[in-house]
Structure 1
């Protein structure tokens, strides 16, 4: 549905911190499914951990936040021009849990659902999966603001 070029028109993040490769499904105001292919060439694996590469939990949460940011910004009813003047700030991440390690070669799928949506505030239920196995979950709260 959205490739990385289209994602970069929505999010300000760039390599090495753009953590969403593709959006496969999205219903504005409701939910989004997106993914990131985890490669051994990720810079984070140089130090986490040499000889035993594990994708950091904080990066999984950031990927969920970025997928949620795409959903929030696309759900705000903004024109493409207005979208260029907005950014999303995450206010809180609650109930974060990590259930299974994510390793190079995994396809990390973010499944994000809207719990609450107001004009500039969004509360999301975030889950991350590898091969339909839940690897992480959290509740995310964010605000859409002017740049």
Structure 2
């Protein structure tokens, strides 16, 4: 499974400035996905977080992880055109700062699904080093 930004936009409803996945580089529909987020100094959130030292907000790293998981679940033909809502975040941990010039390599593996609700285990890495991880709960809706 590989998608460029145009193909991701056909799966996810997110648009600028909230489209936080540049590319899906690997995965299996309905099971897992690996995505890339290239962090640049031009990101709008750097205007206020923080003007004196640019650091990507942890909440947006979690959102990027959720979007990668969203691609994994919404890429299934039976889920096309639906929405994946973030329903919960457990055990979120932030291990390193993410700054302009970093390339986030994000993986999300769907570990459970019962009806429209599921759980994904997500990680974001920079150069192989763990930057963040979390267990994400999602709900698929129309």
Task: Give the TM-score category using the shorter length.
Answer: over 0.9
| Count of residues in Structure 1 that have an aligned counterpart in Structure 2 | 141
Name structure 1 gaps, 5 residues minimum.
none
Partner of 2:101: 105
Instruction: Return the alpha-carbon distance in structure 2 between the equivalents of residues 23 and 123 of structure 1.
Output: 19
Partner of 2:42: 41
Q: Which aligned runs of 4 or more in structure 1 are off by greater than 2 angstroms?
A: none
Cα drift, residue 28 of structure 1: 2.0
Which region of structure 1 is more displaced relative to structure 2, 23-32 or 92-101?
23-32
Instruction: Return the alpha-carbon distance in structure 1 between the equivalents of residues 74 and 51 of structure 2.
Output: 37
Q: 2:139 aligns with which of 124, 137, 143?
A: 143
Cα drift, residue 118 of structure 1: 3.0
Q: 1:83 aligns with which of 80, 84, 89?
A: 80
Matches within 5 A, 1:1-147: 1-75=2-76, 77-78=77-78, 83-84=80-81, 86-146=82-142
TM-score by length of 2: 0.95
SS in 1 for 2:75: helix
Instruction: Return the alpha-carbon distance in structure 1 between the equivalents of residues 33 and 118 of structure 2.
Output: 13
Cα drift, residue 61 of structure 1: 0.2
Question: 2:30·2:74 contact (CA, 8 Å) conserved in 1?
Answer: no
Question: 2:31·2:73 contact (CA, 8 Å) conserved in 1?
Answer: no
Name structure 2 gaps, 5 residues minimum.
none
Deviations 1:39-96 (A, max 9, x none): 0000000111112100010000000011111111124x42xxx622x11111101000
